[in-house]
Copies of this chain bind each other. A is one copy, B any other.
Amino acid sequence: VTVSASLREPWASLPGQLRERGLRWTPQRRTVIEVLAETRGHITGAELVERCRVLDLTVVPSTVYRTLDVLEQLGVVRHGHGADGRQEFHVGSETDHGHLHCATCENQWEITEPQAGAIAELFAPQGFALEASHVTIVGQCRTCRERATRAFG
């Protein structure tokens, strides 16, 4: 029941933004924001719930998801879906790295900054402005491809 340190930028203005719209700043929302503030890249809904509950047991799943709805409307987070189908909330524009994802075995490899840059350049001319940190290449790794070819190719 202690009040924690003040929020770092760009989160500091959130309480005000909420109140401007007639919404409220609550301890539970504060906890959600604290977890989001220390998240780089993305976090799944379930993981966020778990991390919030470590900080504050009064935070319950429904509150987290309802808060995420509000935050998404404010444009603070954006959701998509991860490789496993769970909701994934992307926070800010952090230093996240892209990844190489095998659609068959689900393994992932990191994409290096230069690689991501090269890809971004490839598509820049046609107006698709990729951010290196948000690039995911879905394909099939060598092992899986060989197995598939043997079977059905």
Q: Which residues of A contact B (CB under 8 A)?
A: 10, 17, 72-76, 78-87, 92-93, 100, 102-104, 109, 115, 118-119, 122-123, 126-131, 134-142, 144-145, 147-149, 151-153
- A79 smallest CB distance to B (angstroms): 7
17 inter-chain pairs at a CB distance below 8 angstroms, sorted by A residue, are: A17-B152, A72-B104, A74-B152, A75-B149, A75-B151, A75-B153, A79-B103, A81-B81, A81-B82, A93-B149, A109-B126, A118-B122, A129-B141, A131-B140, A134-B138, A135-B139, A137-B137
A122 contacts across to B, CB distance below 8 A:
115, 118-119
Complex CA distance for A142 and B130, rounded to whole angstroms: 7
Complex CA distance for A93 and B150, rounded to whole angstroms: 12
A119 contacts across to B, CB distance below 8 A:
119, 122, 137
A136 contacts across to B, CB distance below 8 A:
136-139
A148 engages B81 (CB within 8 Å) = no
Closest to A107 in B: B128
Identify 8 new A-B residue pairs, CB closer than 8 A, beyond the known A81-B84, A129-B141, A130-B139.
Answer: A72-B104, A74-B152, A76-B152, A79-B103, A85-B87, A103-B134, A115-B123, A131-B139
A147 engages B115 (CB within 8 Å) = no
